[in-house]
């Protein structure tokens, strides 16, 4: 029996009306191109050759398997039991419902989809292209394959279809409501954003803003021990995200962990760029950002040197500043820690696939001399790199099933995007991703000083993560060969975020350390020791010899010169990207 669907006409009309700006934008992008779209390129697709034997092998494997899928499906309808011809990967969560295994129709849909996906992948493998063009083709093919999953459509998703009938259509109505809201916001909801508030239950560690300029605020956190190390710990997060990924909840806060270990912790909170920052450059981030933060931390603590931590782009900015500082004759760093950071961009991971001369030149012409690059666009690009984790599950739950996404602090942070100044962003694209200049001594001049990473002669702790698709671990490993001081390379489990935010209190996962340090990442991997638990404990033991003597913890934040500005987390982190 088919139940009536309670979907009022005004919901459909509202959906079409709210979607008009979105569809017009899509049409403009298709016809004119968007120079700010990181996946846009003006280069025509290259002519490709195909390896005929590889193509024959692909189809020779496909047709017998397809026939076997149908014959086994027919047999199952008559009560016979058989193993599936093809099964999803263990990490694939799209087909976990029992219907995908026990219902012959859905099992047939699933296996047909997986088999056709494998065929398309094999056909692409048979195409003869340059490595970069091949990777670009693989990426877009993966987007197509992921989008065509039967789990993404109401009529072919058993869970969504069952909800439609059980709720008399209410699930679809709620799904339309969710879609309307997301169209108006311009992004897919991936968490319950009402569950968190910056300064209340995320970014809530007690501290004080003790300095600010047009680029950043500096937070000094309250000590959690009676005695602290003389030398402060300065953390420089990426400027493409908010700093509080390192201060989410008390139980997974890197900030709190460092304070509990007797460190005086300072955090750079980058300003979310608006029109007033349209002319800001990479030089500004190095001089007025990293170097200024180091000077303030030293002035407040009266220490001789600072221990500095940089994550991702924050680590790249920090390394640039450290090389400049040493070239000027300064010795302000006791140690440097680089978390999933690239200094050599020769193998830049999946993001590098979309960066070419034509695309960079186009962005330089549009915003390179002044402008703002939207954080929401950049955030969507990162989502597409893991569409089956960060896009399609929310399309299914939000729109097909009419559910609201659950509260998750990490995803709340992920949705809290930041803009980038056009001049800084385009300079970064050209000199890092496109031309890979930073790792070449003297090739770049930053703040009027030639940059040579080999001048960084302080001890360096370099952390990479095994499944990082943004900073491949072998690329991160090359940093150990670029800096001039002694290095400790550590390879954590998981990816770019979860591999870093691995709280010592939970002591989950594992990491590798103490491998061959002769310069070959694979030789290092083969000889490294696997150790259980969080890398945080390993890092703090490495850091302690560079932390200085133990002194009484400071009862008041700031100093006579650098007086408290406002309580943490400060104003800058509260600004949302438009």
Residues with catalytic function: 312
φ and ψ at residue 121, rounded to 5 degrees = -65, -40
State how far the Cα of 530 lies from the Cα of 533, in Å rounded to an integer.
10
Instruction: Supply the DSSP symbol for 229.
Output: E
Alpha-helix runs per DSSP H in 262-374: 282-284, 292-301, 313-327, 357-367
Beta bridge partners of 270: 216
Helices (H) and strands (E) in the chain, counts: 21, 19
**Three-state secondary structure call for residue 511:** strand
Spell out the residues 6+ positions from residue 438 whose beta carbon is closer than 8 angstroms to its own: 316, 319, 320, 343, 344, 345, 431, 432, 444, 451, 453
State how far the Cα of 281 lies from the Cα of 368, in Å rounded to an integer.
9
Spell out the residues 6+ positions from residue 153 whose beta carbon is closer than 8 angstroms to its own: 400
Instruction: Supply the DSSP symbol for 81.
Output: -
| Apex 65 CA angle, 61 and 70, nearest 5 | 155
Q: Of the candidates 573, 563, 557, 576, which has an alpha carbon nearest to the alpha carbon of residue 217?
A: 573
φ and ψ at residue 333, rounded to 5 degrees = -110, 125
Instruction: Supply the DSSP symbol for 454.
Output: G
> What is the rounded radius of gyration, in angstroms, for the C-alpha atoms of the chain?
26
Q: Is the peptide bond before 569 cis (omega within 30 degrees of 0)?
A: yes
Q: Of the candidates 82, 83, 81, 111, which has an alpha carbon nearest to the alpha carbon of residue 95?
A: 111
């Amino acid at each position: 029996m088919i139940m009536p669907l309670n979907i009022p006409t005004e919901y459909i009309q509202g959906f079409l009306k709210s979607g008009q700006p979105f569809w017009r934008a899509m049409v403009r992008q298709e016809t004119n191109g968007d120079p700010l779209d990181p996946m846009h390129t003006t280069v025509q697709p290259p002519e490709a050759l195909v390896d005929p034997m590889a193509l024959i092998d692909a189809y020779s494997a496909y047709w017998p398997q397809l026939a076997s899928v149908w014959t086994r499906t027919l047999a199952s309808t008559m009560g016979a039991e058989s193993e599936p011809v093809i099964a999803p990967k263990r990490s694939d969560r799209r087909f976990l419902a029992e219907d995908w295994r026990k219902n012959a129709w859905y099992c047939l849909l699933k296996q047909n989809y997986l088999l056709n996906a494998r065929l398309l992948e094999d056909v692409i493998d048979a195409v003869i292209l340059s490595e970069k063009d091949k990777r670009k083709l693989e990426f877009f093919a993966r987007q197509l394959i992921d989008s065509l999953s039967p789990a993404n459509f109401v009529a072919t998703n058993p869970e969504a279809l069952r909800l439609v009938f059980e709720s008399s259509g209410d699930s679809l109505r709620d799904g339309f409501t969710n879609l309307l809201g997301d169209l108006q916001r311009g992004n897919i909801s991936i968490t319950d954003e009402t569950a968190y508030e910056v300064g209340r239950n995320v970014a809530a560690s007690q501290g004080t803003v003790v300095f600010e300029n047009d680029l950043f605020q500096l937070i000094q956190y309250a000590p959690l021990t009676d005695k602290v190390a003389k030398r402060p710990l300065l953390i420089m997060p990426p400027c493409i995200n908010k700093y509080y990924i390192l201060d989410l909840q008390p139980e997974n806060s890197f900030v709190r962990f460092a304070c509990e270990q007797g460190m005086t912790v300072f955090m750079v909170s980058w300003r979310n760029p608006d029109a007033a920052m349209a002319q800001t450059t990479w030089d500004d981030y190095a001089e007025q950002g990293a170097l200024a933060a180091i000077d303030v931390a030293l002035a407040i603590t009266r220490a001789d040197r600072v221990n500095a931590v940089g994550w991702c782009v924050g680590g790249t900015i920090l390394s640039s500043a450290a090389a400049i500082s040493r070239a000027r004759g300064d010795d302000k760093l006791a140690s440097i820690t680089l978390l999933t950071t690239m200094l050599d961009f020769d193998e830049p991971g999946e993001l590098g696939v979309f960066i070419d001369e034509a695309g960079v030149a186009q962005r330089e012409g549009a915003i390179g001399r002044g402008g703002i690059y939207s954080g929401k666009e950049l955030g969507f690009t990162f989502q597409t790199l893991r569409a089956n984790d960060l896009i399609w599950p929310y399309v299914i739950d939000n729109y097909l099933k009419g559910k609201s996404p659950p509260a998750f602090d990490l995803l709340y942070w992920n949705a809290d995007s930041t803009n980038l100044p056009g001049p800084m962003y385009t300079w970064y694209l050209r000199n890092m991703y496109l031309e890979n200049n930073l790792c070449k001594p003297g090739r770049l001049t930053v703040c009027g000083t030639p940059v040579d990473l080999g001048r960084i002669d302080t001890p360096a702790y370099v952390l990479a993560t095994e499944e990082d698709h943004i900073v491949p671990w072998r690329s991160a490993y090359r940093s150990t060969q670029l800096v001039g001081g002694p290095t400790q390379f550590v390879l954590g489990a998981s990816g770019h975020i979860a591999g870093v935010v691995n709280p010592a209190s939970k002591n989950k996962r594992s990491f590798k350390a103490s491998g061959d340090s002769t310069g070959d990442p694979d030789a290092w991997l083969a000889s490294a020791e696997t150790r259980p638990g969080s890398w945080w404990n390993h890092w703090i033991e490495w850091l302690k010899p560079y932390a200085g003597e133990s002194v009484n913890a400071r009862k008041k934040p700031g100093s006579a010169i650098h007086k408290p500005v406002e309580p943490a987390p400060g104003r800058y982190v509260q600004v949302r990207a438009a």
